């Protein structure tokens, strides 16, 4: 059975993006050799990447056109991907399927697969999957910056969920990587 692992980067005050969509300047404060190695390990580890539509569109635009980080771009472009969307008619990024039923689809994939499934970004999808009890782990990179405003990863009114700290470690840039096991409600 596959684990569902959510990966995201937040500022110390809890924002995963600044006040505008795709304002990801907080990544500059945590990116370094440690995150590069972690990012490369995802490519070796995963069997499926999952995105919400907004994250999918941004990731597809970035990874299909960048010359930065060629090894990461290679696995991002080659990996099997699933995008959760009720509005997207077709997916044009290599190896991508679309589902309007992410809860049902991911529940089935967790049963059928044996390597980790990763959700990258995708705060709204993460909330849906947490509520459905499908998330096994949260892997959060805390960037050493206070944004002051932006979009929080976890919204007020999120479903309460006990967590168990599995691992924490500092990064070479002064950030922190936190891995939590998500307990069933």
The residue among 19, 85, 26, 28 whose CA lies nearest residue 56 is: 85
pLDDT digit string (tens) for 101-115? 999 999 999 999 999
pTM score: 0.95
Q: What was the pLDDT predicted at 155? A: 84
Q: Report the CATH number at residue 46.
A: 3.40.430.10
Task: State how many domains the chain has.
Answer: 1
Range of the domain at 157: 4-182
Query: Percentage of residues in the chain with pLDDT exceeding 70?
Result: 99
Half-sphere exposure of 183 (CA within 13 A, CB side): 8
Query: Sign (positive/negative) of CA torsion 97, 4, 130, 108?
Result: positive
- For residue range 40-70, what is the model confidence (pLDDT) as tens digits? 999 999 999 999 999 999 999 999 999 999 9
The runs of H, that is alpha helices, within 49-92 are: 53-63, 70-78
């Amino acid at each position: 059975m596959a684990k569902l692992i959510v990966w995201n980067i937040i500022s110390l005050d809890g924002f995963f993006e600044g006040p505008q969509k795709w304002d990801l300047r907080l990544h500059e404060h945590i990116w370094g050799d440690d995150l590069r190695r972690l990012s490369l390990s995802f490519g070796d580890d995963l069997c499926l990447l999952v995105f919400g539509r907004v994250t999918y569109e941004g990731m597809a635009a970035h990874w299909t056109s960048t010359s930065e980080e060629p090894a990461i771009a290679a696995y991002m472009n080659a990996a099997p991907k699933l995008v959760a969307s009720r509005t997207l008619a077709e997916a044009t990024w290599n190896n991508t399927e679309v589902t309007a039923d992410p809860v049902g689809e991911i529940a089935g994939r967790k049963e059928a697969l044996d390597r980790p499934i990763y959700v990258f970004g995708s705060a709204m999808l993460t909330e849906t999957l947490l509520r459905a009890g499908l998330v096994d782990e949260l892997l959060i990179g805390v960037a050493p910056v206070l944004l002051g405003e932006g979009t929080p990863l976890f919204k007020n009114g999120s479903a309460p969920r006990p967590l168990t700290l599995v691992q924490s470690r500092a990064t070479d840039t002064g950030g922190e990587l936190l891995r939590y096991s998500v307990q069933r409600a």
